Structure 1
């Protein structure tokens, strides 16, 4: 054997050894990923019963509520809210995913249809809610204040129709369950597992919500004048800053606590409350048109918001039924201008699981 042949054989042996080492490292890495994935869904069966089925079908009634309060530095404010919207629609679930569509049955005969699309993805550790909702133009004046100096009876305005406000909302919430091996958030709000022993957990998360709001102050002034015979002098700053279309971008970091109470066999009451430190950025169409030099009031501030959830569930693994409620609050306060808004929904549902897992 000459030197060239020996060198070639040695090189081939080294390459084969390197390939074996690479395969070992790759397999070790894949095994580690698989272990992480398994740990992602691992749970304590003394507290949580895993889902025994692959699919679920559900019929849900959703009742939505919302309210806007707009006020200024002259102690003038107006509360605007539509009549509650009653929606019905089917949902289909595959393991952690629930996808559905609801139709507003209270406005079937009119152009003012309210619709909502919701997509929820749940695991033991992480959950995400994606939502898009549109509202109509059937707002009513719930409460109005014209200022301390305005000695005027405003009771004739309560319940008066106001078509000058249009709004929609879209966004997501992403949350992490720290005590995920024992506490099942989906058991209370998506029925994909069953909580069999009471426990709680801290909840951490982030969220983004985009609001589009179109407010017609001239129409509001005309409505007040027509019903009271009085032309209100709304503060110019609030008029100029909040006229036309306004877009709210809400970036939030959330923290809270949830508790699941198993008070009887197959029954569960769940509740969670989260507060969020949010960065609220608002920009108006007028500002876009006139440029950065426009003398328009801007909202660009941190604020504290909140999310509350309640759920009552009967779930015997095959059939389930219950009710849940979710309410979001958004706030901004400034000396010259402030807004408060509340969005909420109350759901009633019934469904069953099928396609048993092997």
Structure 2
């Protein structure tokens, strides 16, 4: 009887053995794939701990006050060159932020205009690691501009137009900047701009990246002309035809390069800064577009800039500091050019919490 049952048991066990082989294969391959992904992700934050103290915590909370700055200049390129600058009164915004590892998100509310019907809005998302950085931004301005630095030619005094309120100008800007930090093992960009690590020894790094931006301007030039007529009286001046437009839209593709440096001047203190210059190709898509702007040409290339500066105190648990971030974009057609500069100055205080496992074990 034993001889008869043995083959049956053997036959019955064959599928079980095969299934166990398949199961082992799946179980072993999944951790390998997961381990590779983890190694790649962790590689973004791999640092030389002689120069950089890694973040000990998983989460962060912060209260930040922000003063925004927007300045736009329109210029004609005719024989009688004219230029008009627009800028709203700078506003102070206050709000909470929360961070998890690389990502830091927040919302600020204007302390000067609490109306929910305001047409001004904005969104900023920054992702920083040791190797890479990514900035996403969207800014829509309200109809609260004032005229600044008006020059309509004819050797006249236009001071009567300075600081005059003008609600016929609105702007939208949406885009992103991506950059790579070459000396990421010893230089920490997050130490200066996301307070997630501590730079222990002064160090710098070259940066390189690319970006994409969409810009849009809406101008009620008839209203602008009426404001000029009212303020100038008998000295009435006609707007150049190049400034008589309803809408301008252009897209911007850029390649950037620059340098950043962190100066550790005292224990837990850091003064950091970076400057990137971008070679940008711009293509107009609105009312002011022309054939030259739609095809690639050296004439469509402009230089833009991004500057960042920060002063930080960080003892790993608590941190506080201030930072300034500025963007400038230039765009020109044969009969028209514009420059827009926007940025923010920030003052903040925050706390890190949720100690990572390996640091809990050291205690």
TM-score, length basis structure 1: 0.85
- In the other structure, the counterpart of 1:133 is 139
Does residue 244 in structure 1 map to residue 246 in structure 2?
yes
Q: Distance in 2 between matches of 1:273 and 1:224?
A: 38
Partner SS state of residue 107, structure 2: strand
- In the other structure, the counterpart of 2:210 is 206
Q: Distance in 2 between matches of 1:37 and 1:153?
A: 60
- Deviation digits for residues 137-159 of structure 1, max 9, x if unmatched? 11111111111xx2432111111
1:229-268 matches, cutoff 5 A: 229=233, 230-239=235-244, 243-268=245-270
Q: How much does 1:206 deviate?
A: 1.0
1:163-174 matches, cutoff 5 A: 163-174=167-178
Q: How many residue pairs are counted as aligned between the two chains?
A: 330
User: More deviation in 84-93 or 207-216?
Assistant: 207-216
Q: Distance in 1 between matches of 2:263 and 2:285?
A: 43
Q: Distance in 2 between matches of 1:70 and 1:299?
A: 17
Compute the RMSD of aligned alpha carbons. Answer: 2.5
Q: Distance in 1 between matches of 2:280 and 2:259?
A: 18
User: More deviation in 119-128 or 186-195?
Assistant: 119-128
- Deviation digits for residues 173-215 of structure 1, max 9, x if unmatched? 1111111111110110001111111000001111112222111
Sort the Cα spacing of 1:27 and 1:89 in 2 relative to 1 into closer, same or farther, 3 A: closer
1:197 to 197, 201, 212: 201
1:1-358 matches, cutoff 5 A: 34-73=38-77, 74-109=80-115, 111-112=117-118, 114-147=120-153, 150-229=154-233, 230-239=235-244, 243-284=245-286, 286=287, 299-300=293-294, 301-358=300-357
User: Do the aligned partners of 1:104 and 1:114 also contact (CA within 8 Å) in 2?
Assistant: no
User: Do the aligned partners of 1:103 and 1:116 also contact (CA within 8 Å) in 2?
Assistant: no
Q: How much does 1:127 deviate?
A: 1.4
TM-score, length basis structure 2: 0.84
Q: Structure 2: which 5+ runs fail to align?
A: 1-17, 295-299, 358-363
- Deviation digits for residues 8-65 of structure 1, max 9, x if unmatched? xxxxxxx9xxx9xx99999877765554444332110011101001110001111111
